[in-house]
Structure 1
Amino acid sequence: MDPTLQGVLAAIGGFFFVSLMIVTISMICGENKHKRSDSPAGSWDPSKHQTETNFGLSSISVGESASFDPSLNLNRISMQALIDATRNFSRDLIVGDGSFGLVYKARLSSSQVVAVKRLSTDAFQGLREFRAEMETLGKIRHPNIIKLLGYCVAGSERVLIYEFMENGSLDQWLYDTLEGESGEVELRSRLSWQTRIKIVGSLAKGLCYMHNWTTPIIHRDIKASNVLLDSSFESHIADFGLARCIQGSHSHFSTQVAGTLGYMPPEYINGSTMATMPGDVYSFGVLLLEAVTGRRPSLPFPGDDGKEVRLMEWINSMVEQSRYMEMVDSSIVKDEIKESTVVEIFNIGLKCANEKWKDRPTMKEVVEELDKIVA
């Protein structure tokens, strides 16, 4: 047979084979979609999952279906109870957007107000975060780490229930605006210098506890939106979806870089896939400097010469000129703070955010330095 004709016939055959596969897959997907169409989008039919019990929070052991360490003894809540508590996951109750899932404010049948994170139903992302949160928050308890109250496993659904933080996130307090009674947009009441130092100090204590726990935990995504504030403006570290426990060393090998631009240490950006405690320290240093300057680390802004500059570059330049007070957030009353204290705080932040990871302090050393300042 002529080679050209043979090639044409092979191409035609391949085309029909691929077309047949696409049609078959479409029919299967259509059938599954039809089966699901009996329930409203985003809702859950508890009658099809008799293993779920509508009892609010109660302590039971996690079975194999939960896909993580069965030795953990955690609280479980039914999907129907969550639907009732969130009004079927109403958008009106969304209070945050965590990694791989939305967070809702909910009131359980016991009248307890909680935060409910409904993870992505993506088989990989949702399950990975679910396991990470369980393997970390399911084991540790500290006043400055968000408390995991319970969970829900129902079909492909993975839901985590946490204590609710009345004052939202540090990110909201630094940057969010509110709509006043007249309809005009106005700035949220800004945090005082003392409150900001209290926030970073309590954050440092939570991170120190994690790094010095029996099996050290690396958070890998310390940033302002993952620092939640209670009614007293104490920090609670949240969102452990990227966290890793480490065994026998101070690093964890990962196949991909994790974190948020602006907070990521240079070794991560330059291609290192080792998640380390010094990496967390760097992120903490950037966050500390962000908290006292009121400037996002990831967004450029005009420098003195009008050219765009980013936070760390700007701070290093200002420090060379000893212009510490000028870097403090303009909303803070300068008369209430000592310049010597401001210098000390900036120096701690810069030591943590040192580009050389070996020269960064430990979080234990950071806590000790901050305690001396506020004493």
Structure 2
Amino acid sequence: MDLTVAVSAMFARREQQQRWPVDRGDRRPRRRAPPRLLGMFPLDQEAKKERCARAFADTLLAPMLHCPGTVSVPTMSMEMEQVLKLWRIEESGSEFSLYDFDQIADATDNFSDACKLGQGGFGPVYKGQLPDGLEIAIKRLSSCSVQGLMEFKTEIQLIAKLQHTNLVRLLGCCVQADEKMLIYEYMHNKSLDCFIFDTEKGAMLNWDKRFRIIDGIAQGLLYLHKHSRLRVIHRDLKASNILLDREMNPKISDFGMARIFCSNVTEANTTRVVGTHGYIAPEYASEGLFSIKSDVFSFGVLLLEIISGKRTAGFYQYGKFFNLTGYAYQLWQEGQWHELVDQALGEDFPAMEVMKCVQVALLCVQDSADDRPNMSDVIAMLGSEGVTMPEPRQPAYFNVRISSLAVSSSSFGESYCMSNVTLMEEDGR
């Protein structure tokens, strides 16, 4: 018996055990059929792994997700233990692992403060080292974090879909009693914001390194939007969610807010807007409408930050502008784009290539999603000298103040971010 059969059987047994009371002439309330975890048709290996991941996540979290107000997860039943055992067998040949709690406790010196990297909305994050020397980052779900629980489920569901050199690799998870943890590859240089917003560390990033980071982020987004098995919208792309390995290669991280689209779906609407102000596309912030063009907008903001070494939001202003996009556009209009370039670069940068990056960034932050390029176009514009690019128009948030009460940082870095951010419309000029 494999995992898929076990999970289906477990739900079937639960259905048999649940009896609805007779009501008025033996009429029984209608109820939805038990979750169909697997299709009726044969699945190839990759599709089967994907369905198993979804089944595992749904089954694992079902007790909590269907009990409003519950914040603690009950100790696993013998049925759940059986599902986990079969999951281990089924996944034994893959790169995704189920870790024992004792393994992670040993790797982190029993979750000591010395191993703690910081605290995020998901919960605390630790650095650990396995017996074979592999360094790992562990996100430990806080028992009271409903947001973290949903992020946990989302990341588990994505494990079978996302494999790319510019995405942080999820190595596995730990599920034991009320403990839930995600285990990632450890990124030695922490997050991009630790470099580009720091005067001393910013000097370590010459233009070649910055451009390689820009290209890597673009390649990772293109994979999410087009080349993965399903279309994935990240929804929280920002400098603190770009991690850097030993060679300063960028890795997109934190997929807890991501949404998965079928190949024929281009956009969706939500009443729950997530993300970080300053990076959120205007149609998403005001209408809850998101698509791949929402990620493109975030990429454009991030590109301006990499070029300038300046944050898109904060308690300061650039001339008469209160955000980076408005300031960059004004400089572009005046032919003074070079004033945007990070002083840490000095004069040592290829002017035409940097100018092209500024133009691409401004095209990505256009107010209308239809006016923004897709990531295929972005990569083509960044990588070719012969591509004709349209002239950018006034970007979104041109006359909007974007301020934050704290500095953002990666969930794998030494500091963490506050989500207390506001959008304040400035008086017309």
* TM-score of the two chains, using structure 2 as the length reference: 0.65
Deviation at 1:132, TM superposition (A): 0.8
Matched, 1:104 2:104: no
Q: Give 1:349's aligned residue.
A: 361
Q: Deviations over 1:48-68 (max 9, x none)?
A: 99x98xxxxx95448xxxxxx
Q: Give 2:107's aligned residue.
A: 85
Q: In 2, Cα distance between the equivalents of 1:73 and 1:187?
A: 34
Secondary structure of 2:96 counterpart: strand
Structure 2 counterpart of 1:122, one-letter code: C
Q: Give 1:68's aligned residue.
A: none
Q: Give 2:282's aligned residue.
A: 266
Taking every aligned residue pair, what percent have the same amino acid on both sides?
36
Q: In 1, Cα distance between the equivalents of 2:103 and 2:168?
A: 22
Q: Give 2:324's aligned residue.
A: 311
> Structure 1 residues 111 and 258 mapped into 2: Cα distance closer, same or farther (>3 Å)?
same
Aligned with 2:195 (options 173, 186, 205): 173
Q: Deviations over 1:179-217 (max 9, x none)?
A: xxxxxxx65653111111110100100110010122100
Q: Give 1:276's aligned residue.
A: 291
Q: Give 2:258's aligned residue.
A: 243
Q: Deviations over 1:342-363 (max 9, x none)?
A: 2111001011111110111111
Secondary structure of 2:188 counterpart: coil
Q: In 1, Cα distance between the equivalents of 2:186 and 2:385?
A: 30
Q: Give 2:211's aligned residue.
A: 197
Within 5 A, what are the aligned runs for 1:90-169? 90-122=112-144, 124-169=146-191
> Structure 1 residues 60 and 97 mapped into 2: Cα distance closer, same or farther (>3 Å)?
farther
Are the aligned partners of 1:123 and 1:156 in contact in 2 as well (CA < 8 Å)?
Answer: no
Are the aligned partners of 1:59 and 1:74 in contact in 2 as well (CA < 8 Å)?
Answer: no
> Structure 1 residues 346 and 261 mapped into 2: Cα distance closer, same or farther (>3 Å)?
same
Q: Which has the larger radius of gyration?
A: 1
Are the aligned partners of 1:115 and 1:163 in contact in 2 as well (CA < 8 Å)?
Answer: yes
CA RMSD, Structure 1 to Structure 2 (Å): 2.7
Deviation at 1:233, TM superposition (A): 1.4
Are the aligned partners of 2:365 and 2:372 in contact in 1 as well (CA < 8 Å)?
Answer: yes
Q: In 2, Cα distance between the equivalents of 1:275 and 1:188?
A: 32
Are the aligned partners of 1:264 and 1:279 in contact in 2 as well (CA < 8 Å)?
Answer: yes
Structure 2 counterpart of 1:347, one-letter code: Q
> Structure 1 residues 298 and 155 mapped into 2: Cα distance closer, same or farther (>3 Å)?
farther
Structure 2 counterpart of 1:275, one-letter code: F
Name which structure has the greater RCO, CA cutoff 8 Å, separation 6+: 2
Q: In 2, Cα distance between the equivalents of 1:98 and 1:194?
A: 32
Secondary structure of 2:305 counterpart: helix
Q: Deviations over 1:264-290 (max 9, x none)?
A: 1111221x2233110000000100010
> Structure 1 residues 160 and 206 mapped into 2: Cα distance closer, same or farther (>3 Å)?
same
Are the aligned partners of 2:136 and 2:183 in contact in 1 as well (CA < 8 Å)?
Answer: yes
Q: Give 2:268's aligned residue.
A: 252
Which of 89-98 and 150-159 deviates more?
A: 89-98
> Structure 1 residues 121 and 260 mapped into 2: Cα distance closer, same or farther (>3 Å)?
same
Q: In 1, Cα distance between the equivalents of 2:289 and 2:178?
A: 31
Q: In 1, Cα distance between the equivalents of 2:312 and 2:89?
A: 43
Deviation at 1:97, TM superposition (A): 4.4
Q: Give 2:53's aligned residue.
A: none
Q: Deviations over 1:57-110 (max 9, x none)?
A: x95448xxxxxxxxx983100111111111222222233545422321110122
Q: Give 2:335's aligned residue.
A: 322
Q: In 1, Cα distance between the equivalents of 2:132 and 2:381?
A: 43
Q: Which runs of 5+ in 1 are unaligned?
A: 1-45, 53-57, 63-71, 178-185
Are the aligned partners of 1:296 and 1:311 in contact in 2 as well (CA < 8 Å)?
Answer: yes
Which of 103-112 and 187-196 deviates more?
A: 187-196
Matched, 1:338 2:350: yes
Structure 2 counterpart of 1:197, one-letter code: F
Aligned with 1:222 (options 228, 233, 237): 237
Q: In 1, Cα distance between the equivalents of 2:139 and 2:385?
A: 37
Are the aligned partners of 1:219 and 1:244 in contact in 2 as well (CA < 8 Å)?
Answer: yes
